[in-house]
Structure 1
């Protein structure tokens, strides 16, 4: 993430001015070289461009063109494309919903958190292509951390354990969404149904994988499981349950 020219912002945060503005630490630029141009309009235009054409279409020049302004005029509001990416993610992620009903246990709360985060990614697939530039540093991203950490209250885990669980779960959600997005793109590009694509793959693998060299793969193929497409959420549900089983063992071990 880019730093401002002085090394720190007004609040000594080492964040760019636009990110400090998101935290309310400084005023957002209100008067620019073109009437009506604001940081929010720039971010909204970038998000719309990413949603329509993918993250690769987003550049300072292209966003400026969409807004009908010069590229240089954008730099009054955001200093670099990497900074714009952070603001785009903050806008598209939004604040976490009120996930936990009264009396919810940690497992139910974390499960709701994971499904809600998955939905954010599924609505904004371009976010999966954003480079990871560091830990959460914007209000909404920190609010999502807060929700997960709050879900672990009462488990007996220390601060290190809580943040490790949060990072593990968040990484799983992001990776699952990325894999599913890539598979969906392949299936859509093939023009065939998911069942046909999977069946074609199974037939190809049967021809290529010698049973004597790959006996377990041969047994898998013979079982027929590769000939039927799972429901879209099946793998996510399975992986999430296994992770939460592991967290449960961690919590029980700590209590013991």
Structure 2
């Protein structure tokens, strides 16, 4: 009997695997999207999706929100938990490798940044640190406590300037951009923040005070200023939650947002082709690039325009 034919998708996987293993595609480099695979190898979209799904299964690639599928960093060798160190005499300094709250928080943030908040667990963090899981509980009460400390840690690393701009709008805009940048750096942060049950995050208090001071300078009363602050905060958070959601959706489906839209396009065009939605049909034909950064900036400026009209001074009146 002749050799069994190798499935087309397997040959493509083998080629991309070779490029990754030889360093032709380095860690962090973007791998061909499903659209590029269909064009380069002449296969169906379903086959291209299967290729990326297999590379993800092998741990060779990972999804990065706003970028696409990239080559994953080489996996670190598995580490076994180290035996607990002998008790130190009272007052003795800790060694450089001692387990500290800072190391625990840093390890948890690294996992969340790379793989999402769902990947963070006490067991996972302990494994990355090479310690027994129970040793973490000497520093954090539980996962909820760890999450609060993670949020406190990342926000504390990017403080606002000591001297705010005198103009209220410039000050609010600076703080809003700083918050958006934090959400961009840490996609898990926005969904972790609760608006209805706010966590006590000490490093976030200066941000709130900054916003209130700026809005009070604009002339709002304290209640209105706090409402405006929450509105701006939740606006940025509302857009930013899509970063983590997109990362999870891409990991589950094997498709980035552009590739997913390609799959939906035939059905969408069929509906729009009925003539019932002329504006949407025209938009679909001309194309629209969803850019979350541009979307955030557009909405922020409109919100600031609205706040600029408050308080309404009314007609000039003589004193």
When the two structures are superposed, what TM-score results if normalisation uses the length of structure 2? Answer: 0.59
After superposition, residues 58-207 of structure 1 pair within 5 angstroms as 58-94=120-156, 95-98=158-161, 102-103=165-166, 105-130=167-192, 132=194, 134-135=197-198, 137-183=200-246, 189-190=254-255, 194=258, 201=264, 203-207=266-270
Shift of 1:125: 0.8
Shift of 1:158: 1.3
Shift of 1:165: 0.6
Q: Residues 230-255 of structure 1, C-alpha deviation per residue, up to 9 Å, x if partnerless?
A: 54422112211221122123x132x3
Q: Give the counterpart of 1:47 among 105, 109, 119.
A: 109
* Corresponding residue for residue 233 of structure 1: 293
Instruction: After the TM superposition, list the runs of 4 or more consecutive aligned residues in structure 1 that deviate by more than 6 angstroms.
Output: none
Structural RMSD (CA): 3.0
Cα pair 1:198 1:229 within 8 Å, conserved:
no
Cα pair distance change 1:204/1:106, threshold 3 Å: farther
Q: Residues 66-111 of structure 1, C-alpha deviation per residue, up to 9 Å, x if partnerless?
A: 22222222111111110100000111122432187643x2222212
When the two structures are superposed, what TM-score results if normalisation uses the length of structure 1? Answer: 0.72
Cα pair distance change 1:181/1:82, threshold 3 Å: closer
* Corresponding residue for residue 244 of structure 1: 304
Cα pair distance change 1:42/1:154, threshold 3 Å: same
Equivalents in 1 of 2:143, 2:230: separation in Å?
26
Equivalents in 2 of 1:102, 1:110: separation in Å?
9
Aligned length: 217
3-state SS of the aligned residue for 1:69?
coil
Higher relative CO (CA 8 A, sep ≥ 6), structure 1 or 2?
Answer: 2
Equivalents in 1 of 2:286, 2:198: separation in Å?
38
Q: Residues 146-190 of structure 1, C-alpha deviation per residue, up to 9 Å, x if partnerless?
A: 121122132221111111111110111111112255457767943
Q: Residues 113-136 of structure 1, C-alpha deviation per residue, up to 9 Å, x if partnerless?
A: 111111001000122342527335
- Larger-Rg structure: 2
Cα pair distance change 1:197/1:57, threshold 3 Å: closer
- Counting helix residues as a fraction of each chain, which structure ranks higher? 1
Cα pair 1:149 1:163 within 8 Å, conserved:
yes
Task: Specify every segment of 5 or more residues in structure 1 that has no aligned partner in the other structure, as ranges.
Answer: 1-29
